[in-house]
């Protein structure tokens, strides 16, 4: 396996979000790995990110995706059990009322998270070295 590079990337505008979305596509996590701290205005997702930037051989890495200055977080069709595994498929960034940042996170099986934040401040950090993945995720449409 080639030398692994740990990602530590930050989005500060809506235009910065699509590259982060591509890098976290197929990040496997459990509902219990998503935490919103209303007082700190922070939402964190911990998961096993497929390394799309180095897909051969297929590997995953433990990663954290952090949204700062979040004033509102809404869940739709969220799994009741915290141990159900699902995948993050995409993140869309937009602009809400008063120029506030909005994010919609889409997950496999239908769950979504909708966030409203003061500004765009999203960070992706790899937390550990890679390990072999069973396969490369496939999307059929």
Q: Which candidate, 51, 58, 106, 55, places its Cα nearest to that of 78? A: 106
- For 138, how many CA atoms within 13 A lie in the half-sphere containing its CB? 3
Mean pLDDT of the chain: 92
33-86 pLDDT per residue, tens: 999 999 999 999 999 999 999 989 999 999 999 999 999 999 999 887 767 889
Q: What residues form DSSP beta bridges with 31?
A: none
Evaluate if residue 1 carries a pLDDT over 70. Answer: no
**Domain spans of the chain, in order of start:** 8-100
Confidence at 131, pLDDT banded by 50, 70, 90: very high
- List % helix, strand, coil for the chain (3-state, nearest 5): 10, 50, 40
pLDDT reported for residue 7? 94
CA distance 71 to 116: 6
The answer on pLDDT for 110 being more than 80 is yes
With a cut of 80, say whether residue 20 has pLDDT above it. Answer: yes
């Amino acid at each position: 396996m080639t030398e692994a590079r740990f990602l530590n990337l930050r989005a500060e505008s809506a235009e910065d979000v699509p590259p982060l979305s591509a890098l976290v596509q197929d990040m496997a996590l459990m509902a219990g790995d998503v935490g919103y701290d209303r007082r700190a205005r922070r939402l964190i997702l911990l998961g096993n990110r497929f390394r799309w930037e180095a897909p051969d051989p297929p590997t995953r890495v433990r990663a954290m995706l952090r949204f700062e200055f979040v004033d509102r977080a809404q869940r739709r069709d969220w799994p009741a059990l915290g141990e159900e595994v699902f995948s993050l498929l995409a993140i869309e960034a937009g602009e809400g009322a008063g120029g506030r940042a909005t994010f919609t996170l889409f997950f496999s099986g239908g769950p979504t998270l909708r966030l409203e934040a003061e500004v765009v401040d999203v960070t992706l950090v790899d937390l550990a070295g890679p390990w072999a993945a069973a396969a490369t995720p496939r999307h059929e449409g």
